Structure 1
Amino acid sequence: MPRLPAVANWGESHMHDEGLLIARLFLGIPFIVWGILKLRGGEAKLVPGLQALGLPDAVFFAYLIGVCELVGGLAVVLGYPLRTASVLLGLWCLVTGYDAHRGNITELLKNATMAGGFFALAVAGSGTLALFGSAPPGVFAYLP
């Protein structure tokens, strides 16, 4: 089978990086928005559910969830530390899907689908269109 010229390989690699960036945007931006909404007063909708779980300070935990969603979404969009953030957000999607949406199959499947996207992104990596170009320097290189 004939080999493609080197220019075609560059194009394929470049499209791969663009595809990873698009995937990071589609998965990360909703978490940024949800985090901001929780930090700007939307935590009130979350508090009754957290109180039902028996948490001692549901308001604190609602804000903590908002911060985690915002920081996790930013990490995914920026592409660093992508693998850590993707695995944690994927697990978060599964837990919240089961806990908050198990009575609604559409919402449950949405969360499972997002988890799958996060796990796939964790395996694929960030590509070169990411903070540090996917090769962080110094102490940042120790974060997965």
Structure 2
Amino acid sequence: MYNEGLLIARLFLGVPFIVWGILKLRGGEAKLVPGLQALGLPDAVFFAYLIGFCELVGGIAIVLGYPARTAGILLGLWCLVTGYDAHRGNMTELLKNVTMAGGFFALATVGAGSLSLFGGAPGGLFAYLP
């Protein structure tokens, strides 16, 4: 039951990021560009697509369970930063991001479980990724 629970948690955490990444890469970046321009970024459209790509790849890594610890830490930090930057005026949205960060940090702590890519224990060159 432990590994099945980790798989369900990975799906609940990773699938939204896959969807958000796809939406940003398929034209949804337009909503993000004005906020990025306000930050003074030189090419806000490029960074909007980069954010979409990172969300997509991070979500896939979480769902596959590899490298779950690295992706969990990075996406947890991502949730905290975006929560503060984009949602600090809306307590519900901010707390949603903080909650997701907690889930990602918990996943990074316990690992992906055996129902993941490489069974949770990669070999060869992949073993060097945390």
Unaligned runs of 5+ in 2: none
Any idea what SS the aligned residue of 1:63 has? helix
Unaligned runs of 5+ in 1: 1-14
Correspondence 1:88 to 2:78: no
1:79 to 48, 65, 70: 65
* CA deviation string 1:78-126 (max 9, x = no partner): 0000000000000000000000000000000000000000000000100
**TM-score between both structures, scaled by the size of structure 2:** 0.99
Inter-partner Cα distance in structure 1 for 2:121 and 2:46: 35
Match of 2:129 in 1: 143
Residue 108 of structure 2 aligns with an amino acid whose one-letter code is A
Match of 1:103 in 2: 89
User: Larger C-alpha radius of gyration, 1 or 2?
Assistant: 1
* CA deviation string 1:64-85 (max 9, x = no partner): 0000000000000000000000
Cα RMSD of the aligned pairs, angstroms, is 0.3
Q: How far 1:137 sits from its partner (Å)?
A: 1.5
Correspondence 1:52 to 2:38: yes
Residue 73 of structure 1 aligns with an amino acid whose one-letter code is G
Q: Which aligned segments of 4 or more residues in structure 1 are displaced greater than 6 angstroms?
A: none
**TM-score between both structures, scaled by the size of structure 1:** 0.90
Identity of aligned residues (%): 85
Inter-partner Cα distance in structure 2 for 1:103 and 1:26: 26
Match of 1:23 in 2: 9
Residue 17 of structure 1 aligns with an amino acid whose one-letter code is N
